Amino acid sequence: MDQTQILSGKVALITGGGGVLGSAMALNLAKNGAIVGVLGRTIDKLEVIVKKIQNEGGQAFALQADVLNQEDLEKAKHFILEKHNRLDILINAAGGNIPGAIVTPEQDFFNANPDDLQKVVNLNIMGTILPSKVFSAIFAKQKSGVIINISSPTADRPLTRVVGYSASKAAVDNFTRWLAVEMASKYGEGIRVNAISPGFFIGEQNRALLLTPEGNLTPRGESIISHTPMGRFGTPDDIQGTLLWMCSDASKFVTGIVVHIDGGFGAKSI
């Protein structure tokens, strides 16, 4: 089989498609033959990704929607079915953290902002549950489909400072396993639900935590690298092989797992 066409004819949707990891996933799936929808709140950012995919010979479309708004998601579902008549892959890449939900060394948990904590929890877990709820209805009718959620090393090893993020990513792992059982038990082996747990990647949301303005490691960045046996941060390219495996029939008997792509961070204790 021509590897560039391993996903030929498949229709994929990536929430958070304008982000660093989401956009890299979109480009990867398109290069491998999928028709890729990128969904997010900022249409200008999404259209840049779509244009890049199209310039490289791929097929893509942008959908403006909030993953926490079921009405938005239902409209996106209707658009996809009207235009493509099916959906084969859903990647829940929307998520992240906000400064107000971080407990810094100078602060304490007792003064954490409950509104900001709630926003982070909602974004990561409800921002995964709601799209899964809306779009897996297509999979149930088709008796086929792939859902890939985005977890984090903080789900297994809660990190200092990021209390809401750690808790919500642990919930993503739990939901991934729950939905895998629900889908396969009720709608057949053609529907699979798994998660990818990227290690530490430099993105817009964590750059200031890991790097100084000059590009050097912060104390937290140094701590993370010292606990990563491979001695570096991840790059979006590091995820792509696992992504293709999960999206294709190469993993057709795999469901309910979380694959860690972390340079060994989760394996190291001291």
Would you please indicate which residues are annotated as catalytic (active-site) residues?
165
Beta carbons within 10 angstroms of residue 138's beta carbon:
20
Q: Provide the 3-class DSSP secondary structure of residue 107.
A: coil
Supply angle C-alpha 137, 131, 46, rounded to 5: 125
* Both structure tokens of 42: 């900022």
Q: Can you say whether residue 85 is alpha, beta or left, with left for phi > 0 and alpha for psi between -120 and 50 degrees?
A: left
Beta carbons within 10 angstroms of residue 237's beta carbon:
9
* Both structure tokens of 27: 């480009």
Helix 163-187 to helix 114-121 angle (10° resolution) is 30
Q: Is the CB of residue 260 less than 8 Å from the CB of residue 197?
A: yes
